Structure 1
Amino acid sequence: MAEAAAFQGTGPSPARRWLRRTLTVAVGAPLLAGLLHNPTPAQAAADTPVSRTVDVAIDTLTPSAPVEGDTVTVTGTLTNRGKRTITDATVNLRVGPRMDSRSEIDQVARRKGFRSDSDPRPLDAPEIDVANLPVGVPRDFRISVPVSELDLDDEGGVYQLGVSLSGQTSDARWDRVLGIERTFLPYQPEPTAKRTQLTYLWPLISSAHISADTASDEQQSAVFQDDDLAEELRPGGRLDEMVSLGKDLPVTWVIDPDLLASVDAMAKGYRVKDGTGHAAGTDANRELAERWLGQLEAAVQG
């Protein structure tokens, strides 16, 4: 204790300072090296540039929504974007777990490189051996696995499906994930008789043609701004083509009531603005309106 107090009061001797520096270098250097080469779990889980060395592209996934008994096949390409040839590599599938919300799907879609805390473990089989993957040379791959070996839940759902490549390089002789790509696998254990159906909306619309004026004749005929509507109704016109094409298609008609009212007014007899007044519409245009209304009525039956 006396010796310690003496050194505390007068400061360390030159010999003790030399010894302290020597111990710091001898002991501290291995500790520092250990920190650099043994990252914490959080660091190991994080996405790193190394896991983006290989560009894994998924080109096809068939069937897109497998059922029990199917075989899932994934094809794509591998491209080494690094600076050294990759050796002793394997291509693996990674499936699961089932995703229960849109936010989970969004999180998976935003990921780039590999994350050990989020990406599932690779399947034991099948896997593809890649002896060498030179820089910049695309390599095609094809990998198939029965649905029964994907360990999917019986109730079905949407699963994360990833294709990863693990391998070595001349400057790092240990296996690590060098590239990964993800997609989504909808799984439905049993096929259903009725699938989701789509419909195409077929709009019949036009700009306004009737003015605010009303003719003073007995019928109080509608007064049109111009005769442009008749051009759309005649054979080859826009509205004529819409009805002619739509009648043979499985579409849902979306019809502007104002258009029907305008064509009906034209068919009953109308007038057209002419300078400061207005003149009677032509019989030919009235016949066009009647003809188009009849064609439309036949087209929308059923």
Structure 2
Amino acid sequence: MAEAADFQGTSPSPARRWLRRTGALLAGVPLLAGLCQLPAAAPAEAADTSGSVSVAIDTLSPSAPTDGDTLTVSGTVTNNGKQAVTAAHVGLQVGPELNTRSSIDTVSDGKDSLQGATGSEVDGKYEAKFAKLTPGVAEPFSLSVPVDELDLGDAGVYQLAVSLSGRTAAQSWDQQLGIQRTFLPWQSDEADTKTKTTFLWPLISSVHMTAETGSNAQQTPVFLDDDLAKEISAGGRLDQMLSLGENLDVTWVIDPDLLASVDAMTHSYRIQGEGDTTTPGTHQALAKQWLARLQKAVEDKEVVALPFADPDLASLAHNGTSVTGSLSHLDEATDVAATTVRTVLHVTPSTDFAWPVNGAVDRSIVKVATSAGADKVIARSDSLQETAGLSYTPSAARPIGGGTTAVVADARLSTAFQGDLTKASSATLAVQRFLAQSLALDLQTHKQRSIVVAP
């Protein structure tokens, strides 16, 4: 599978530059082997114990510092209480070192809780002071600290917290009123063994074309709506996926139905209206441009073609196998997938992968997936777990019997960038969490491993 990123060699793209600083990780390779079984429950949510002042970390640079760097943290503090806060200051707290991936999860769950260990505050000369914080007003801060002043020890992930302390009229003594926790990956020397990581990059959409065609000799295709044009337009979801993916070393995972639909848009097509009416489609140039960019992006890259229209394998496995011909149609969907990708993108895809929704699998889903010719099933580690009681995260590829391999994506890394990341603070915390989990994974063992990230 394609290399996702590499901290050595050529200059990284801006989208990868923050990853490079860990020195821990990432370069894709053929996947290796292990053992597995099925799943565990999610942890309960922590109670809300946040303070009256919210602390937002908008930037943290460098994301993974090395010797000689100066760490700069900036953001805002907002007084959410009803009383003014006086004699306030924002300071940095470092420590303790987090030795396990689960301890990183715990900090993430309680990132703005006043409870829990935070470590000692860095020397007071590295703080921002506020004479008064008015209720409802966001005040900016910026702190710069030489990394040498942080007293970091061995390579590892350290908890980093930005806290706000001050006084109120009701409580006229210094107290911590708000905090935001994040992570500081630290590795002063290059890692002896680097975990190799493959990123799967999905280009998938819902079905847009109908089974109807025009009555003319060209059998003009008819679309349900014009939503696909919005997705491939500048700023649309599929445009953003392509814009990001074309600058990264990823394995493209594509629904051939999407390719066929955009390809149909490059010619004459119509949009379904009310009743039996249709209107002409007008986005031929947009479709041609998007496809041309995708063709260039996948050159010399690995491309995985899902069965045509990306059928829901779980629904089929649990409710559809009794329907006559359902599995044979799945087989046909796999056969036409390869032809579609070759015709539209001019590359030969792999068609031996199946990807159930969110990588959730059980025996019946695997059985249906393999009935259509797949011998590799993309699962996720919160669904398919190793049975040997390993103290470290094993390589992604694990045999599950019958000649089938489960390619188990790491759940923590795969979900690190979920949710609304339009706020700078949310994006910064997500980046630090991803880097922390990556470094913690790498430091678990000196064994060479291959990890898959499947957003």
Contact 2:128–2:143 (Cα < 8 Å) also in 1: yes
Whether the aligned pair in 1 keeps the contact of 2:82 and 2:135 (CA below 8 Å) is yes
Provide the secondary structure at the position in 2 that maps to 1:52: coil
Distance 1:261 1:184, change over 3 A: closer
C-alpha spacing 1:252/1:170, structure 2 compared with 1 (3 Å): same
| Contact 1:233 1:292 (8 Å CA) reproduced | no
C-alpha contact 1:91 1:129 (8 A) present in aligned 2: yes
Question: Alignment RMSD, CA only?
Answer: 4.0
Task: Show CA shifts across 1:38-78 (max 9, x none).
Answer: xxxxxxxxx996x6111111111111121221111111111
Q: Give the CA deviation at 1:260.
A: 7.1
Residue from 240, 245, 249 that aligns with 2:297:
249
TM-aligned CA deviation for residue 171 of structure 1 = 2.0
Higher relative contact order (CA 8 A, sep 6+): 2
Cα distance, 1:164 vs. partner? 0.5
**Aligned sequence identity (%):** 39
**Structure 2: 5+ residue runs without aligned partners?**
1-46, 200-249, 268-283, 308-333, 351-455
The 5-angstrom pairing of residues 133-144 of structure 1 reads 133-144=133-144
Counterpart for residue 296 of structure 1? 346
**Bigger radius of gyration, 1 or 2?**
1
* In 1, Cα distance between equivalents of 2:102 and 2:293: 42
In 2: Cα distance, 1:113 partner to 1:204 partner: 42
User: Counterpart amino acid of 2:55?
Assistant: V
CA shift for structure 1 position 131: 1.2
Give 1:86 deviation, angstroms.
1.1
Give, in whole Å, the separation in 1 of the partners of 2:48 and 2:339. 66
| CA spacing shift, 1:296–1:92, aligned 2, 3 Å | same
Unaligned runs of 5+ in 1: 1-46, 208-228, 264-288
**CA-CA distance at 1:92 after TM superposition:** 0.7
Contact 2:304 2:349 in 1 (8 A): no
Determine the structure 1 residue equivalent to 2:96.
97
| Equivalent residue runs for 1:46-85 within 5 Å | 52-85=51-84
Residue 185, structure 1, aligned to residue 177, structure 2: no
TM-score after normalising by structure 2? 0.38
In structure 2, relative to structure 1, the CA distance for the partners of 1:253 and 1:53 (3 Å cut) is same
2:280 is equivalent to residue 203 of structure 1: no
Matched, 1:130 2:178: no
Task: Report deviation, 1:81.
Answer: 1.2
C-alpha distance in structure 2 between counterparts of 1:134 and 1:261, whole Å: 62
Aligned residues: 202
Which residue number in structure 1 is paired with residue 336 of structure 2? 259
Say whether the 8 Å CA contact 2:338–2:348 is kept in structure 1.
no
Cα distance change, pair 82–90 in 1 and its aligned pair in 2 (3 A): same
CA contact (8 A) 2:57 2:180 kept: yes
Match of residue 266 from structure 2? 236
Going by fraction, where is helix more abundant, 1 or 2?
1
Distance 1:201 1:106, change over 3 A: same
Distance 1:236 1:127, change over 3 A: same
> 8 Å contact 1:243–1:299 — kept in the other structure?
no
CA distance in 1, matches of 2:265, 2:179: 57
By how many angstroms is 1:246 displaced? 4.0
Amino acid in structure 1 at the alignment position of 2:266 = G
One-letter code aligned to 1:82? G
Work out the CA distance in 2 between the residues paired with 1:76 and 1:96: 20
CA shift, 1:232, in A, is: 8.3
- The Cα of 1:108 is off from its aligned counterpart by 0.9
Counterpart CA distance in 2 for 1:170 and 1:235 is 66
Identify the structure with the greater strand proportion. 1
Distance 1:200 1:297, change over 3 A: closer
Q: How does 1:261-276 map onto structure 2 within 5 Å? A: none
